Every structure is written in structure tokens, then in C-alpha cells.
């Protein structure tokens, strides 16, 4: 508990412009809601220290090959790497509706001090006040303890003066011997910690998790709120175009299905620098999918006509954290989707479409388990153009409206890799302003259903 005393002491000296603020590193807090707890802890320490946040500390740990719970030897390496005098590591355990925050604090190579705090919600004002009050109370108590420690050596000699003076040095000599014994007592604990780290590493290699409810590596929050994500993989889609007619001689429906290649990504540039800033939720998104080898047989022939089918979208969004690990995103994108036949090969009784639209939308993500998250997105397609289908030589002007949605699961393989499985749906409805020619077409529905599987790189 001396570390808080050191922090408060140095901060008081800072106020008199004698010394600069000490430097403290906060490791990623493991457990449910660890990200949010870490943010509150950093805010509580910033008043009296220069804080190196969890993201930067985790990078340093990775470079040093450190993971899981750190022992004193690991902390010394980390302190040297970061240039800090204090390292704080924490974990959150949940029992029913209550959470317990346990902090281990290392100061200048001394044995760690452990402290705990129970709370219901890390989002509450009470929790933030309790953390700050805890910091202040412990700092005051430790400052008194240090004063008492300074007084004890003076009292001991005075007490020992009544005894044999010659034995005082022997007693003093015994004290160092007692300290190594305390260190020896610590050694089994350190070995156990090292074993725990090794066990965690082995479990991660096998794809398993820690025995704790969740860990830094398996926490859902980085998966749900990554600052950078790039996905690549495959897709399969089925498209069907049907018509509403007033006669029996309408055009035939169109149906196709084929696989494709997919790449998509999202970037929140301000979150890379300061995840707590108001601009951290502002990001850009992009997606591109291209069908491979799609053809359609021309009626009455043996000719397979190639179809160019694909879609892409580019937009901006603002992501808002909700609860512990969940988020809601609001945004708008420019989207294009096309289905164009190679008519140099044969004549087809179907119109080409080349949709462009402005697509405002909403998305939601939430953790299901420490390593699995669910997501859903919905967009409204405000059509700008539709291509040949609305030309006067085809079916003419129409009122057009569309929607698109997707949902699925993310499965974390590690802190930087994940699999995504998604189901997608889009529908565009046409209401033609007057029947086209003598075929009596009054409306059309262009519907697409697809599946996608991608591998994501996260940061």
C-alpha cells in the first residue's frame, strides 16, 4: 500500500513546483468490464501522476514477452521499459450482480500491495467516486504508516539499550536474515505465478481460456471496440428478381447463385491515439464483394452468359459505448450494387441493374461470452439511380425503395485475430408509374440473400 503514499507525496511536492509528477503504468484490467474499470482507474491516478495507459503498457508487455499476472521480476522489466516508478495491475471478478476489483501495486521493486473494491456498475458515478476516495484514503493511511516506520528504528535502539548492548548488532544482523526468509516465502508464490503464466500460454495455444471468468486476452471488449479491423474471406449469395404484372405474358423471373470474394474494414483513427476522447468513436468503414464465375443460360440456347455482379460501400459512422463492452453505431454510407449481363454473347429477357444509394444506418455489437460477440446492422437504401431497368426502353420510371441488413457472430482466436460469420439480406422494391408496354409490369422486387465467412485482423 506504500505506492499510493508515494504518489500522493510526490503530487504534494509537485504542487509546490519542486518535483514533477511520478510516472505510473496501468496494465490492462482483466475480467468483465475491464476496459471501463481501467479507464476509471487511469482517471483517478491522473490527478497525481503521469499515467501510461493500458494500451501502451500492453504493447510494452508484448515486446517483453510478458502476459497474464505479473510478478515482481516481470514488473521490474516493465518498469525499466516504460520508465515508470509504479505499476498497477488489476482484475475483476463477478459474483451475481456484484463485481470485485482487485488491484496489485508495485513501487520501485517493493513487494506488491493488494487492495479490493466491490461495486455493481463501473458506469455509475458512485464507482468513480469510490475509486477516487479509495486512492485518497489509502494514500493518507500509507503516509502515516511510512512516518511510523521512520520512528520505529529510533524506538527499537532505546528499548534495546536496556538489554545487552553487544547483542544489538547481532539482533540487527538477524534482521537481514529474516528479510531473506520473507523473500524465500515469496519465491514459491512467484514460481506459482510463473507456472500460472505458462499454463495460460499453453491454454491460449490450445484455444482455451484462463480459469478466471475472463482474461485480458479473451476479454470481449477489444473485439467489440477495436480501433482498426480488416476482414477478408469468402461469400455466397442468391439473387432473385420477380415482377408484378397485370397480364399472363410478363417477363420471366430471374434467379442466380454464386460464390464470391469479400474484403471489408473499419478504422477509428482518433481511438488509436486517445480511446477516451470524444472523437474516438468517429470512424470510417468500407466493404467490397465480387461474385466469381457467375453465368446464366440464355433461354432456348446452350450459351452461358457471364454476369458481372458485385457491391461495395464506403461510409462514416460514430460508435457509442453502451454498458460493459457493447456499442451502438450510427452512420451513413455511399453504396453501389450491380448485376450486368454480357449481352455480346446472347440476348436476354432481363434488365441490367446498377444501383447507387445513400444508406443511413444503425449497428449494434455486444459480447455473448469472453471470446464471442454478436452484431447486427440495418440500412435504409435511399436510391440515387437504378440503371437500365428504369429506362423507357425497359420498364420506365418508378418509385424505388430499399433496405439492407446483416447479422452474425465474431469469434476471437486471439487478441488480434477473429473469425466472422454473417448472414445478409437486401431487398429493393419498384413501383412503376405506368405499365410498361403491353406486358403489364406494375412492379418488381429484387431480393438478395447471402452468407459470408471472413478472418479479421484487429488492433
Distances (CA, A) of 160 to 70, 151, 169, 170: 40, 15, 10, 12
- In this prediction, residue 280 carries a pLDDT of 92
Do the domains 220-458 and 2-200 match in fold?
Answer: no
- In this prediction, residue 137 carries a pLDDT of 53
- How far is it, in rounded angstroms, from Cα 153 to Cα 418? 58
Domain boundaries, the chain: 2-200, 220-458
Q: What is the pLDDT of residues 200-209, one digit of tens each?
A: 555 444 444 4
Matching CATH number, 220-458, of 3.30.540.10, 2.40.128.100, 3.40.50.1100, 1.10.3720.10: 2.40.128.100
- In this prediction, residue 150 carries a pLDDT of 53
Residue ranges in the chain whose pLDDT is less than 50 = 1-19, 138, 141-146, 156-195, 203-221
- In this prediction, residue 215 carries a pLDDT of 35
- In this prediction, residue 114 carries a pLDDT of 80
- In this prediction, residue 314 carries a pLDDT of 98
- In this prediction, residue 413 carries a pLDDT of 92
Q: What is the DSSP letter of 30?
A: B
**Contacts of residue 396, Cβ cutoff 8 Å, sequence gap at least 6:** 390, 432, 433, 434, 436
CATH second-level architecture of 2-200? 3-Layer(aba) Sandwich (3.40)
- In this prediction, residue 220 carries a pLDDT of 42
Q: Is 136 left (phi over 0), alpha (psi -120 to 50) or beta?
A: alpha
Amino acid at each position: 500500500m506504500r505506492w499510493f503514499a508515494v504518489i500522493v507525496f510526490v503530487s504534494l511536492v509537485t504542487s509546490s513546483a519542486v518535483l514533477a509528477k511520478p510516472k505510473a503504468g496501468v496494465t490492462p484490467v482483466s475480467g468483465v468490464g475491464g476496459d471501463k474499470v481501467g479507464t476509471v482507474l487511469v482517471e483517478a491516478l491522473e490527478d497525481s501522476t503521469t499515467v501510461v495507459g493500458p494500451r501502451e503498457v500492453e504493447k510494452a508487455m508484448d515486446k517483453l514477452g510478458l502476459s497474464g499476472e505479473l510478478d515482481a521480476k516481470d514488473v521490474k522489466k516493465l518498469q525499466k521499459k516504460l520508465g515508470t516508478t509504479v505499476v498497477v495491475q488489476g482484475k475483476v471478478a463477478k459474483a451475481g450482480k456484484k463485481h470485485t476489483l482487485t488491484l496489485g501495486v508495485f513501487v520501485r521493486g517493493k513487494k506488491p500491495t493488494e487492495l479490493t473494491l466491490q461495486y455493481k456498475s463501473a458506469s455509475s458515478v458512485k464507482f468513480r467516486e469510490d475509486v477516487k476516495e479509495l486512492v485518497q484514503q489509502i494514500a493518507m493511511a500509507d503516509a502515516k504508516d511510512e512516518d511510523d516506520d521512520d520512528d520505529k528504528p529510533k524506538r527499537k535502539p532505546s528499548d534495546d539499550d536496556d538489554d545487552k548492548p553487544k547483542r544489538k548488532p547481532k539482533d540487527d544482523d538477524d534482521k537481514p536474515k529474516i528479510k531473506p526468509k520473507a523473500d524465500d516465502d515469496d519465491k514459491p508464490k512467484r514460481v506459482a505465478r510463473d507456472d500460472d503464466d505458462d499454463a495460460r500460454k499453453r491454454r491460449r495455444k490450445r484455444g482455451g481460456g484462463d480459469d478466471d471468468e475472463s482474461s485480458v486476452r479473451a476479454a470481449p471488449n477489444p473485439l467489440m471496440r477495436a480501433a482498426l479491423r480488416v476482414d477478408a474471406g469468402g461469400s455466397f449469395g442468391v439473387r432473385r428478381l420477380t415482377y408484378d404484372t397485370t397480364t399472363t405474358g410478363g417477363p420471366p423471373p430471374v434467379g442466380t447463385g454464386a460464390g464470391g470474394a469479400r474484403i471489408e474494414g473499419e478504422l477509428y483513427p482518433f481511438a488509436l491515439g486517445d480511446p477516451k476522447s470524444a472523437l474516438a468513436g468517429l470512424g470510417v468503414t468500407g466493404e467490397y464483394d465480387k461474385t466469381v464465375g457467375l453465368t446464366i443460360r440464355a433461354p432456348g440456347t446452350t450459351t452461358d452468359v457471364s454476369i458481372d455482379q458485385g457491391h461495395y460501400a464506403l461510409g462514416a459512422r460514430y460508435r457509442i459505448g453502451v454498458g460493459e463492452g457493447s456499442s451502438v453505431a450510427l452512420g451513413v454510407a455511399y453504396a453501389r450494387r450491380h448485376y450486368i449481363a454480357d449481352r455480346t454473347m446472347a440476348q436476354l429477357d432481363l434488365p441490367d441493374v446498377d444501383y447507387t444509394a445513400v444508406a443511413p444506418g444503425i449497428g449494434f455489437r455486444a459480447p455473448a461470452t469472453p471470446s464471442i460477440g454478436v452484431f447486427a446492422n440495418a440500412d435504409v437504401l435511399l436510391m440515387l439511380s437504378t440503371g437500365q431497368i428504369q429506362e423507357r426502353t425497359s420498364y420506365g420510371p418508378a418509385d424505388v425503395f430499399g433496405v439492407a441488413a446483416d447479422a452474425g457472430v465474431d469469434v476471437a482466436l486471439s487478441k488480434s485475430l477473429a473469425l466472422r460469420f454473417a448472414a445478409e439480406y437486401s431487398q429493393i422494391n419498384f413501383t412503376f408509374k405506368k405499365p410498361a408496354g403491353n406486358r403489364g409490369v406494375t412492379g418488381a422486387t429484387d431480393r438478395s440473400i447471402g452468407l459470408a465467412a471472413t478472418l479479421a485482423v484487429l488492433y
